[in-house]
Amino acid sequence: MNKQMVRQRVKEELSKLDRLAYEQLSFQIARRLFSLKEWKEAKTVAVTVSNAPEVDTWQIIRQGWLEGKRMVVPKCIPAEKKLNFYKLTSFTELEMVYFDLYEPIPSCNQLVERSLMDLIIVPGLAFCRSGSRLGFGGGYYDRFLAGYNGNTVALAFSQQLMEQLPREPHDLPVQQIIAEEEVIVCESEAK
């Protein structure tokens, strides 16, 4: 199966989740994240602002604020195919951009360098136990992670876990995948 076919299949599976299951499973995944050493020790956490059917990260951002963590969220720079991350202190500092995504308003937020991030929660549509991930097709995170040496985790519903994924040399794995029933440690392939 090629990348486009995998993306379509996973989107179809996720579309079958009703609202109650989505909320419950997102909650279970978040609780597993909060129990990780990497979360507990992180002072600065990078995470996207989710859009269903992605695992809900709004609750993760709130919990980070409650714990006094610096929560940073990405702004896509399409012309350069890159991400800039900004400190977020309120959801009112977000704006809706293309594809109904929420991103930080640069004039309202402080730019945070990659070297200051202790944990990056990497988004994706599909994952396998080796840490391979299939993103949304822009390559933004693969480029961003190429220069990052800290901790990486991905959040995934069980419907997003695959036996194998099509991979290219520039595709970078994550160190852990957090699903509703388990935390998958995949450091053997991750940096």
**How confident is the model over 116-169, as pLDDT tens digits?**
999 999 999 999 999 999 887 788 998 999 989 999 999 999 999 998 887 877
> Confidence band (pLDDT; 50, 70, 90) for 187?
low
Q: Does the pLDDT value for residue 108 go beyond 50?
A: yes
What average pLDDT does range 86-92 have in this prediction?
A: 98
Per-residue pLDDT at 189 exceeds 50:
no
Query: Residues 6 or more apart from 175 whose CB is under 8 A from it?
Result: 131, 151, 152, 153, 185, 186, 187, 190, 191
Dihedral sign for Cα 126, 147, 116, 139, please.
negative
pLDDT tens-digit series, residues 47-81: 999 988 899 999 999 999 999 999 999 999 999 99
Query: For a pLDDT cut of 70, what percent of the chain falls above it?
Result: 97
| Residue (of 64, 147, 71, 61) closest to 109 by Cα position | 71
| pLDDT (0 to 100) of residue 190 | 41
Q: How far apart are CA 93 and CA 102, in angstroms?
A: 10
Nearest CA to 46 out of 12, 3, 87, 82 is that of: 87
* Domain covering 3-185, topology: Rossmann fold (3.40.50)
For the whole model, what pTM was predicted? Answer: 0.92
